[in-house]
Amino acid sequence: MAIIRYVRSGQAGDSGRSEEKDRYDRVFVEEPAGPDAAHSQLRAMLDAVCEGDVVEADSFSQIARSGRELLSVVNQFSEKGASFFFRDENVNTADPVVRQTLTIFASLLNLTEDGPEAAYRRAADYEAKGDLEAAISLYDSMSGYRDSAQRAAACREEIARQIYERARAREERGAFEEAARYYAALGGYRDSAERIRACEKGEIYRRALEAEQRGAYQAALTLYLSIRDYRDCASRIRACGEGIESQTYDAARASEETGRLQEAAGLYRSLEDYRDARERAAACESAMAYMDALSAEDNGDFDRAIVLYERAGNYRDSRSRALACRQAVYKQLCAAAQGREQAGDYGAALAIYRSLEDCCDVSEQIERCERASADRQA
């Protein structure tokens, strides 16, 4: 068996407060989504109750606006084996005698079956106590009696004002999605449409700020850009841009330090003028060229090694290694020229010697080949 509490939000004695919640297994709070809201929580409670459950409410008027409606609700709960206890009237519908006499008792409730003046007074009493929905229901049933139409409109205006204030309070504490739902329920009331748009931006800003604080700068930047005119988004966009650059630079440094030079160079190049990114990119590229040159030199590909050492610039001993490779190339060419000369192929030997004139003193070899060639022709 469960003890269940049913209250209307905003009424005096609202048992939805945290200090009373511990006394009940469940609490259903009827919090309207608009001036004409139906008893959605009453229906939800009817779906939830089981046999033996007891629902505690302050008064008949909390669940019904007429004797017939009261009997209908009580009977629906009775069919599921649940009962009501009404505090103000000290009535427990679990008692079969109470249920049997409830029809007679309902006629004494002075609800909407009363004459218009009694109903008007009861509506005014509900309005004074803050039970505005009950007041509206009675005022609407009076078909223009006295100023009932104006009083109903005033009650609706007050409900709208209360909902608007709830929405504003939630918006101010950052519960933007909840606030937007309240504003949406108000339709065209005051500046609700404008406040909905502000809440939508506020929620995006909140998510962007969270992303920025955990270092997800790209995600934050995307969100800030979608609301660039909101609050300090312009400065936050700049901050995220700086955060992205810092993260990229750190990633480049890590790649460089672990030998992933191609990756590091690409990251540094993407940063353009950030810190020393251009210099670091050039250093990575020089290191890659140097390592490729060493490999080419080891394989005897001196021409390619020379090109790569020159590309490496002043990196380590690139210049001295390039000179050594040139000397190795000269030796190879001289050896090839001497071989051709010894084989009597003076024309080929001359061509090789002449290609070396700018870097070696081969005048003696050239003169010797020219004489040998002339002697052969004579």
pLDDT (tens, 9 = 90+) of the chain, 378 residues, equals 889 998 876 554 444 455 566 788 898 888 765 544 557 888 889 999 999 899 999 888 888 776 767 888 888 888 888 999 989 888 898 887 776 676 555 544 544 455 788 889 999 999 999 999 989 988 998 888 999 999 999 999 999 999 999 999 999 999 999 999 999 999 999 999 999 999 999 999 999 999 999 999 999 999 999 999 999 999 999 999 999 999 999 999 999 999 999 999 999 999 999 999 999 999 999 999 999 999 999 999 999 999 999 999 999 999 999 999 999 998 889 899 999 989 989 899 899 888 888 878 888 888 898 888 888 886
Q: Is residue 353 part of a domain?
A: no
> According to the model, what pLDDT value does residue 353 have?
86
- Secondary structure letter of residue 86 according to DSSP: E
Residues 191 and 140 in one domain: yes
Task: Decide if 183 is inside a domain.
Answer: yes
Give the pair of three-digit tokens for residue 61. Answer: 């008027």
Q: Which helix (H) or strand (E) holds 368?
A: helix 363-377
Q: What is the Cα Rg of the chain in Å?
A: 46
Place of tokens 């190049």: 269
3-class SS of residue 315 = coil
Domain end call among 212, 231, 250: 231
Report the alpha-carbon distance of residue 352 to residue 106 in Å, rounded. Answer: 125
Q: Is residue 83 part of a domain?
A: yes
Task: Give the C-alpha separation, 201 to 194, whole Å.
Answer: 11
* 152: in domain: yes
7 with 105, same domain?
A: yes
pLDDT for residue 285 = 96
Count of domains forming the chain: 2
Structural contact between residues 71 and 21, judged by C-beta atoms closer than 8 angstroms: no
Query: Based on the domain organization, do 108 and 173 belong to the same domain?
Result: no
| Share of the chain residues as helix, strand and coil, in percent rounded to the nearest 5 | 65, 5, 30
Q: Is residue 19 part of a domain?
A: yes
* Domain stop point among 193, 211, 231: 231
- For residue 267, being part of any structural domain is answered with no
Report yes or no on 198 lying in a domain.
yes
Q: What's the pLDDT score for residue 282?
A: 95
Residues 184 and 172: their CA atoms lie apart, in Å, by 17
Residue at 336: amino acid letter: A
* Under 8 Å between Cβ of 285 and 265: yes
Is 163 in contact with 186 (CB distance < 8 Å)? yes
Cα 51–Cα 57–Cα 62 angle in degrees, nearest 5: 115
Same domain, 106 and 23: yes
Indicate yes or no: pTM above 0.75: no
- Residues 10, 106, single domain; the answer is yes
The tokens for 306 are 């020379």
| Residue where a domain stops, chosen among 182, 200, 231 | 231
Query: How high is the pLDDT of residue 359?
Result: 78
Please indicate, yes or no, if residue 319 is contained in any of the structural domains. no
- H helices of 80-147, in order, are 96-106, 116-129, 132-140
Residues 86 and 41 in one domain: yes
Q: What is the pLDDT of residue 16?
A: 46
Q: Indicate if 107 and 25 belong to the same structural domain.
A: yes
Same domain, 84 and 7: yes
74, 93 Cβ separation under 8 angstroms? yes
Residues 161, 76: one domain?
A: no
The reply to whether 4 and 79 lie within a common domain is: yes
- Owning domain of residue 81: 1-113
Residue 37's pLDDT is what?
A: 52
Residue 88 belongs to domain with CATH number: 3.40.50.1390
